[in-house]
Chains A and B, each alone.
Chain A
Amino acid sequence: MLALKELLGSKLKFSLIALIIGLVVSLTMLMSAMSEGLVTGMTGAKGTLAADALVFQGDTQLALERSLLTTADMETIRRTPGVREVYGVGHAMISVEAGGEVFDARVFGLGGRFDQLPIVAGSSGPPGPGEAIVDVTAEAEGLAVGDTVPLTPIDRELKIIAFTEGRRYVMTPAFYVDMVTWADLYVASALRGEVAEDSGGSPATQSASLEGGASIAAVDLTAGTTVDDLAAELEPAFEVTTPAEAAEAGNGMPVMVLAVNAIQVVSLLIGALVIGVFFYIMTLNKTGQIAAVKALGASDGYLYRQLLLQIIVLVSAAAFIGIALALGSGSSMPPTMAFDPQVGRWLISLAAVYLMALVGSLFSLRSILSIDPATALDRAEH
């Protein structure tokens, strides 16, 4: 009764408190979503590859850019015990021209497994030679389904047949092509469009030599086989890992992930501290009232239950405000902005906020227990 009556009786005060806590909640949510967005933008295309394991060339420290597997390598992997299915994944760096501007992008060749790409616009069929399914963030660069975009300076073109989502790499949109197109683009971009005299032939000849090869191999394992089993078979000639672990390797990702986690933890701690201190101060401000109610016969347990009820109502209102603000801010951000709200992470943030409010309430409980009801009568007189 008292807790809710007090909330209703001081609507402005408690609305402002809920708003401030809501802003703190929103800050932790935004930090979480932007951190996740950064990781997704850096590694989405690699981390979401549909496979139990990824196999890289040996001594590449799981760097997609440095790995190249020959046809023989792919065959070795395919014949390894415990391997159920293998498809090649090619990677190349390209520059795309759109509306007079040039932006960087990444090409991913997929050995026929285009069904793993969520299509958000355009054709759902696999791309043919010279065609691409592109991450939807490329829309912000002025590209649309049906466009044929020139690649510079390699004198190639790709026709966009569909948009997918959540598939960026190193903050650039991924262009998914078939392996023949990938091999052509890989060689062309490696040679920057030039035919090197000592390169062993024309780009066409060299790309043909990549036939059956790939940058890395995506592997599905048979039941009962683990990634460690596969690694034991293939290392040290190859490096073996899961897509999730591969996503956090290379391109300075270990340091970035560490920094991102630290940002999230620090923002949560600051938020928690603010919330805990808020409730503690609220209790201190009510010392006189609490002493009087105790003098009238209220038990400590009753007063603590009222405090908890108030905290739950306030934090719930604050959580609602915080989520609404975070989602509102997120929806107003451009698609290229790193913002990827993860339900799991947000639930963890919310749980932490409730937990810290509870911890703050324990300090308040200590304060409630220490309030002497005799002070309601006492006027520094004995």
Chain B
Amino acid sequence: MRMLEVRNISKHYGHGRTAVRALDDVSFSLEPGQLLAVLGPSGSGKTTLLSIIAGLLHPTEGEIVLGGRPIHLRSPREAAAFRRRYVGLVFQEHHLLPYLTARENLLLVPHLSGRITGRDRTRAKSLLAEFGLEERAGHRPAMLSGGERQRVAVARALMNEPEIMLVDEPTANLDTQHGNQVLELLRAQIHARAMTCVMVTHDTRMAEQADASLRLIDGRTAPTGA
């Protein structure tokens, strides 16, 4: 696994007097196995930061470097291939496909990469077991609780053995008990597999469990605790 570096990233929308600076000169670096919590109020640029790291948005300035190689100057096709291979994404809304079972939602990831192998099936089974979802593997999202759905979403993000986990408010729709459960599982996976993880959250208690934190206000890095 490799180090993730975010160097002087800015993202501007519009020009001149109407220009909006969604992100302004944001930098940080993460060692493998580190979890970074990104805090900040709504509109502070947290999601824009995640989208840029995932290759869903191009930065106006700055660069993203993984293991010494820049990863931000990619075409949409290359960025999609990069996400399939190296990125695990967890959305605030779980975005599980409603017509697929929990197991099939996990197998969607290797399916998008080409084909599903026996190894993929074994991995899906083992991840579901690790997340306590073995009994729920054949259930569709509508038949799962909120916590179970979010655990399936995290397990899906781990299917491609990613180097970077990008997690957007993973516990926002969960009660404290289920939220802690999901975060604990996530932390365990990050440390065990030496991934780098950027987690956006509003919840300072969640942020306290991260290895590092970054606060954004109006797109700029603010001192932690501001």
Report which A residues bind B (CB closer than 8 A).
Answer: 1-2, 5-6, 8-10, 288-289, 292-299, 302, 372-374, 376-379, 381-382
Contacts and interface: CB of A to CB of B under 8 A. Distances in A.
A293 B99 CA distance: 13
Given A296-B108, A299-B80, A382-B43, A374 B100 contact: no
A377 B84 CA distance: 16
B210 to A, nearest CB: 19
B168 A381 contact: no
A295 B56 contact: yes
B191 interface: no
B70 interface: no
Interface residues of B, number: 40
Contacts of B170: none
B47 A378 contact: yes
B149 interface: no
Interface in B13-53: 13, 20, 22-23, 42-48, 50-51
Contacts of B51: 374, 377-378
Contacts of B168: 377
23 contacts: A1-B111, A2-B111, A5-B97, A6-B97, A288-B95, A289-B95, A292-B91, A292-B97, A294-B80, A295-B54, A295-B83, A296-B84, A296-B108, A296-B112, A297-B83, A298-B80, A299-B77, A376-B89, A377-B168, A379-B42, A381-B44, A381-B48, A382-B11
A270 B51 CA distance: 43
Contacts of B83: 295-297
B81 interface: yes
Contacts, number: 91
A2 B112 CA distance: 10
A382 B57 CA distance: 11
Interface string B82-114: 011000010111010111100010001101110
A261 to B, nearest CB: 43
B121 interface: no
B136 interface: no
A297 B112 contact: yes
A293 B96 CA distance: 9
A289 B97 contact: yes
Contacts of A302: 112
B140 interface: yes
Interface string B130-167: 00000000001000000000000000000000000000
B58 to A, nearest CB: 10
Nearest to B219: A382
Contact of A295 (B13, B89, B98, B108): B89
Contacts of B13: 382
A91 B165 CA distance: 88
A257 B84 CA distance: 59
Contacts of B42: 379, 381
A9 B140 contact: yes
Nearest to A7: B99
Given A1-B111, A6-B99, A9-B100, A373 B46 contact: no
A7 to B, nearest CB: 8
Contacts of A374: 51, 56-57
Contacts of A6: 97, 99
A5 B113 CA distance: 18
A382 B220 CA distance: 12
A299 B111 CA distance: 12
A382 B48 contact: yes
Nearest to B77: A299
Nearest to B157: A296
A372 B99 CA distance: 22
A8 B80 CA distance: 28
B54, B100, B112, most chain A CB atoms within 10 A: B112
Given A5-B99, A289-B97, A373-B56, A296 B46 contact: no
B89 to A, nearest CB: 6
A382 B46 CA distance: 7
Nearest to A374: B56
A88 B51 CA distance: 85
A259 to B, nearest CB: 46
Nearest to B97: A289
A377 B80 contact: no
A225 B83 CA distance: 72
B54 A382 contact: no
A189 to B, nearest CB: 71
A9 B98 contact: yes
B216 to A, nearest CB: 10
Contacts of A379: 42, 47, 92
Given A5-B99, A295-B56, A297-B83, 7 more contacts: A2-B97, A9-B140, A289-B95, A292-B97, A293-B108, A295-B83, A302-B112
A371 to B, nearest CB: 12
A377 B112 contact: no
Given A295-B89, A297-B112, A298-B112, A382 B22 contact: yes
Contacts of B219: 382
Nearest to B95: A292
A1 B115 CA distance: 10
A382 B89 contact: no
A5 B98 CA distance: 10
